[in-house]
Amino acid sequence: MVDSVEIPVITSEQLGAFHRAKGLKNAACLRCGNVSWSLLSSTEAPVSGLPTAKTEERAEVDLFTPILTLTCRNCGTLWFVAAQSVLDWLTETREQGASGDAG
């Protein structure tokens, strides 16, 4: 039995801001060059999880890496982003009281 994990919602706007802040130079699909991605179906990004291998030390935990999944709207290539990286950045940004221009 595993407790559920609480993961805050990350919006597509927050993900975009994260990528801009990190200096993402190219958002084109590596396979087809398309620049249009969908983040599942809504403006709020649901977090999925990649299964993680268990070891003897952590055999009783269902381990997974929380991810955001973008899908190339042209060819379907998947682009995974570690949700924790975005959450860490959001926390740092809030702590710094960054002057946002949201809204």
List residues near Zn ion by CB under 5 A: 29, 31-32, 34, 72, 74-75, 77
Angstrom distances, CA of residue 2 to CA of 16, 36, 73, 78, 93: 32, 37, 35, 28, 31
The least CB distance from residue 33 to Zn ion, in Å, is 7
The least CB distance from residue 28 to Zn ion, in Å, is 8
What token pair was written down for 22?
A: 């990190």
Query: What's the sign of the alpha-carbon dihedral 99, 24, 46, 3?
Result: negative
The least CB distance from residue 74 to Zn ion, in Å, is 5
Comparing CB distances to Zn ion, the nearer of 64 and 80 is 80
